[in-house]
Chain A
Amino acid sequence: MLRGISLEVARGELISIIGPSGCGKSTFLRCLNFLEIPDSGTVEIAGVTITRVGGRWSRQEEDAAHRLRAHVGMVFQSFNLFPHRTVLDNVMLAPVRVKRVPAEDARAEAEALLDKVGLSAMAARYPDTLSGGQQQRAAIARALAMRPDVMLYDEPTSALDPELAEEVLSVMRTLDNEGMTQLVVTHDMRFARAASDRVVFMDGGEIVEADDPDRLFVDPQDPRTRKFLRSVL
């Protein structure tokens, strides 16, 4: 599915990954925190390196993935908030249960994060009573609560109306300004062009082109990129 992918991301970069449906961009993203187990290849994030050369996914590799995921947050297209818990509890759950942060500290931090994404008033509500944009911002706060070095977004605005999407994108821009490293799989070309430091175009399981957005959108080098951009712009 994925072949010969090589991408180096600097600290603080915002990378948009674009490409036609089925090109492997989501799979690539999910390989980065091993929700998807690649057959072979190397992932290095924040000093944790995992190299696969085929074979069964071993206990040691799962342990390594656990160390790696401590540095990586992820946001999903369908939000995947926990419906049986309040927004505040969604944000607090992992710090308390995984990192053993004392509940009061986790609560304070969760409240601060909800404030940051503009959801202070929603802390006690259940996810299904929130709009899509609010849910996605809560999901971002939930991921940030684990203090990741890298945030992965898998089509974070695809399920949202444009104005709701804008709420989410603005949170991501804020994070970018604060120096967060972010990789975003997106169909939103306007966001990719305006907010990204670099844009990666994938097709057929390969990275076709990775470049500065202005250059990639204005003067794509590869005919496949040109063809794709013509169809979406």
Chain B
Amino acid sequence: MKGLLLALVAMAAMVWSVAGHAAPLRWASDAEANVPFVFHDPADQSRLTGYEYEIAQAIGRRLGRPTRFVQNDWDGLIPGLQRGLYDMVIDGIEITPEHEQGVLFSRPYYMTTERITVRRGQRGLETLAALHGHVVGTLKDTTAERMLQADPSIRIRAYEEETNAYTDLKNGRLDAVLLDGTIALYYGSPDPDLKLVGAPIGQVAYGIAFARGDTALRDQVNAALDGMMRDGELHRILARWNLWTPAMAALTGDASTPAIVPEAWDHYRAATAPTAGWRARFDRYVGFLPLLLHGALLTFAVSACAMVLAVGLGLGLALMRRYGPRWLGALATLYVEIVRGTPLLIQILFIFYALPGIGLRLSPFVAGVLALGMNYAAYEAENYRAGLQSVARGQIEAAIALNMTHVQALRFVVVPQAVRMVIPVMTNDFISLLKDSSLVSVITLTELSQTYVRLSSTYYDYFGTGLLIGVAYLLLGLPFVRLARMAEARFHTGRQRSGHI
């Protein structure tokens, strides 16, 4: 569905550019749990916001190109860039020698420092040295993580989502969190249970990432950033978000202190303030429903298409293994063993990011359906094979003696009897597929579980949104359970209505 939409947008974009207009500047970020960089406005989940979102818009304006945002999972951002899914990535990516090996960076558009956050009652953890021997959380592959690694006595917990780090700090699983000033300001400081302590540590520079070799666009964007620093637009954006720092003043040579109201910061704090009372909470959950519905629809579409593929391919594989010539059977066995023996997550990433290397470009939706369907086909194949084996050999002999071909014997005698054996197992598989479909979130599809991540991390509300999402999954699974019951009842004895041949 979303894939189709993307395709339509892409086609529209092509027509647009042919007509002589500027091609859209496609930029990517991970807008899930990504305050204050790029995120969905807590007051209106359909609206993107964030200081980097505003920077991207400003760059687009200066280049005279409309911008188009592409959502991608953090781990997929750089692979997607290399794949050509979009032109650039803005997501607080630190300019480090390691990162520079994979991508081309713009000049820094933001400078910040590392900050230590602890629980309110905690004392004596104000410096990096004081963290000696403690359990400290941070994000993986960051400057902060490398700083912590310098002291081997520190037990590091490297997270993917900053919200998880701060939640674990509150829950007492961590003694401190070391993260970028931007993140600490938005996640650590507003929380009444937490406080920022000590002086700023070190320095971090964020850059916009481009595909290696795309120096033309990099130079254009650098020029745009230069302009934004000179005429104060960057200053205004950052000040609105309460993010203007002395380091930025040093970077831009802009020592002015204009009176800019941090309205974006205020808006965010107001929207995420802990809700008091049932009524406000309920209103907030009602506001989630459109997002939930969208996520549920995508989950359902991916799962249903993948199931159809899994059943068809699985039956083919099972027949190949049981009745095909030896080489075909061996091929099917190899397929089943490889697919069952490797993680589904790897398969999804491989199909989406690696296949373009051999010229096969798939939309996220198609790639997701293909990966899930091909994976479950292996399990279905084994299931069907067991079902076929359970049909007595005498049944085929009777069919052959009645002058049926092998194909007719399978179609009219063996398969209908095998079906009743496999239906209970199939029901299980399908419900489990419905849940495994959450893995397609790694290839930019915002389905149900990704919706959960987004909502819960925005509001720090894992409990209420968790229940909501759980109910949504149950409701989705229910029709399959009922369908399977009906089928089971119908095939219980493997019987078909008389006189319908």
Interface residues of A (CB under 8 A from B): 33, 35, 66, 69-70, 72-74, 76, 78, 80-86, 88-89, 92-94, 96-98, 103, 106-107, 124, 126, 128, 139, 142-143, 146
Minimum CB distance partner of B404 in chain A: A98
Would you list 7 pairs from A and B whose C-beta atoms are within 8 A, ordered by A residue? A69-B400, A78-B394, A80-B392, A81-B398, A83-B493, A86-B499, A128-B493
Contacts A84-B417, A126-B493 given; does A92 touch B501 at CB 8 Å: yes
Of A88, A94, A96, A139, the residue contacting B403 (CB under 8 A) is A94
In the complex, A143 Cα to B408 Cα: how many Å? Answer: 17
User: When the two chains form their complex, are residues A88 and B400 in contact, meaning their CB atoms are under 8 A apart?
Assistant: no
User: When the two chains form their complex, are residues A82 and B499 in contact, meaning their CB atoms are under 8 A apart?
Assistant: no
Other 8 A-B pairs with CB < 8 A, given A89-B496, A128-B493:
A66-B405, A76-B397, A82-B395, A82-B413, A86-B498, A94-B403, A98-B403, A124-B498
Chain B 374-409 near chain A by CB (<8 Å), digits 1 or 0: 000000000000000000101101111111110010
Interface residues of B (CB under 8 A from A): 392, 394-395, 397-405, 408, 412-413, 416-417, 420, 493-496, 498-499, 501
In the assembled complex, the CB of B492 is this many whole angstroms from the nearest CB of chain A, namely 11
In the complex, A33 Cα to B400 Cα: how many Å? Answer: 9
User: When the two chains form their complex, are residues A84 and B496 in contact, meaning their CB atoms are under 8 A apart?
Assistant: yes
In the assembled complex, the CB of A67 is this many whole angstroms from the nearest CB of chain B, namely 9
Of B401, B413, B417, B494, the residue contacting A143 (CB under 8 A) is B401
In the assembled complex, the CB of A184 is this many whole angstroms from the nearest CB of chain B, namely 15
In the complex, A81 Cα to B413 Cα: how many Å? Answer: 10
In the assembled complex, the CB of B154 is this many whole angstroms from the nearest CB of chain A, namely 66
User: When the two chains form their complex, are residues A84 and B403 in contact, meaning their CB atoms are under 8 A apart?
Assistant: no
In the assembled complex, the CB of A31 is this many whole angstroms from the nearest CB of chain B, namely 13
User: When the two chains form their complex, are residues A89 and B498 in contact, meaning their CB atoms are under 8 A apart?
Assistant: yes
In the complex, A89 Cα to B412 Cα: how many Å? Answer: 11
Contacts A84-B496, A94-B403, A143-B402 given; does A76 touch B394 at CB 8 Å: yes
Minimum CB distance partner of B408 in chain A: A97
User: When the two chains form their complex, are residues B394 and A80 in contact, meaning their CB atoms are under 8 A apart?
Assistant: yes
In the complex, A124 Cα to B495 Cα: how many Å? Answer: 12
User: When the two chains form their complex, are residues B403 and A89 in contact, meaning their CB atoms are under 8 A apart?
Assistant: no
5 shortest interchain CB distances as A-B pairs: A80-B398, A84-B494, A94-B402, A74-B401, A80-B394
In the complex, A84 Cα to B495 Cα: how many Å? Answer: 4
Residues of A within 8 A of B499 (CB): 86, 88-89, 103, 107
In the complex, A82 Cα to B402 Cα: how many Å? Answer: 12
User: When the two chains form their complex, are residues B404 and A35 in contact, meaning their CB atoms are under 8 A apart?
Assistant: no
Minimum CB distance partner of B392 in chain A: A80
Chain A binding surface, main DSSP class? mixed
Contacts A76-B398, A83-B417, A97-B408 given; does A89 touch B493 at CB 8 Å: no
In the complex, A107 Cα to B397 Cα: how many Å? Answer: 23
Question: Looking at A35, A85, A107, A142, which has the most chain B CB atoms within 10 Å of its CB?
Answer: A85
In the complex, A76 Cα to B404 Cα: how many Å? Answer: 16
In the complex, A98 Cα to B406 Cα: how many Å? Answer: 12
User: When the two chains form their complex, are residues A142 and B402 in contact, meaning their CB atoms are under 8 A apart?
Assistant: yes
Of B397, B403, B408, B494, the residue contacting A83 (CB under 8 A) is B494
Residues of A within 8 A of B399 (CB): 94
User: When the two chains form their complex, are residues B501 and A93 in contact, meaning their CB atoms are under 8 A apart?
Assistant: yes
In the complex, A157 Cα to B67 Cα: how many Å? Answer: 83
Minimum CB distance partner of B405 in chain A: A66
Residues of B within 8 A of A73 (CB): 401
Residues of A within 8 A of B501 (CB): 89, 92-93, 96-97, 103, 106
User: When the two chains form their complex, are residues B403 and A70 in contact, meaning their CB atoms are under 8 A apart?
Assistant: yes
Residues of B within 8 A of A70 (CB): 403
Residues of A within 8 A of B403 (CB): 66, 69-70, 94, 98, 146
Residues of B within 8 A of A33 (CB): 401
Residues of B within 8 A of A89 (CB): 496, 498-499, 501
Residues of B within 8 A of A35 (CB): 397, 400-401
User: When the two chains form their complex, are residues B402 and A98 in contact, meaning their CB atoms are under 8 A apart?
Assistant: yes
Residues of B within 8 A of A103 (CB): 499, 501
User: When the two chains form their complex, are residues B412 and A93 in contact, meaning their CB atoms are under 8 A apart?
Assistant: yes
In the complex, A82 Cα to B401 Cα: how many Å? Answer: 13
In the complex, A143 Cα to B394 Cα: how many Å? Answer: 15
In the complex, A128 Cα to B495 Cα: how many Å? Answer: 11
In the assembled complex, the CB of B486 is this many whole angstroms from the nearest CB of chain A, namely 17
In the assembled complex, the CB of A27 is this many whole angstroms from the nearest CB of chain B, namely 13
In the complex, A107 Cα to B400 Cα: how many Å? Answer: 21
In the assembled complex, the CB of A65 is this many whole angstroms from the nearest CB of chain B, namely 9
In the assembled complex, the CB of A36 is this many whole angstroms from the nearest CB of chain B, namely 10
In the complex, A226 Cα to B405 Cα: how many Å? Answer: 43
In the assembled complex, the CB of A107 is this many whole angstroms from the nearest CB of chain B, namely 7
Of B398, B405, B408, B498, the residue contacting A82 (CB under 8 A) is B398
Question: Looking at B394, B399, B403, which has the most chain A CB atoms within 10 Å of its CB?
Answer: B403
User: When the two chains form their complex, are residues A146 and B416 in contact, meaning their CB atoms are under 8 A apart?
Assistant: no
Contacts A80-B394, A103-B501 given; does A97 touch B404 at CB 8 Å: yes
Residues of A within 8 A of B394 (CB): 76, 78, 80
Residues of B within 8 A of A83 (CB): 417, 493-494
In the complex, A24 Cα to B125 Cα: how many Å? Answer: 90
In the complex, A142 Cα to B413 Cα: how many Å? Answer: 14
Contacts A83-B417, A89-B499 given; does A97 touch B401 at CB 8 Å: no
Minimum CB distance partner of A103 in chain B: B501
User: When the two chains form their complex, are residues A84 and B400 in contact, meaning their CB atoms are under 8 A apart?
Assistant: no
User: When the two chains form their complex, are residues B401 and A85 in contact, meaning their CB atoms are under 8 A apart?
Assistant: no
Of B395, B408, B417, B496, the residue contacting A98 (CB under 8 A) is B408
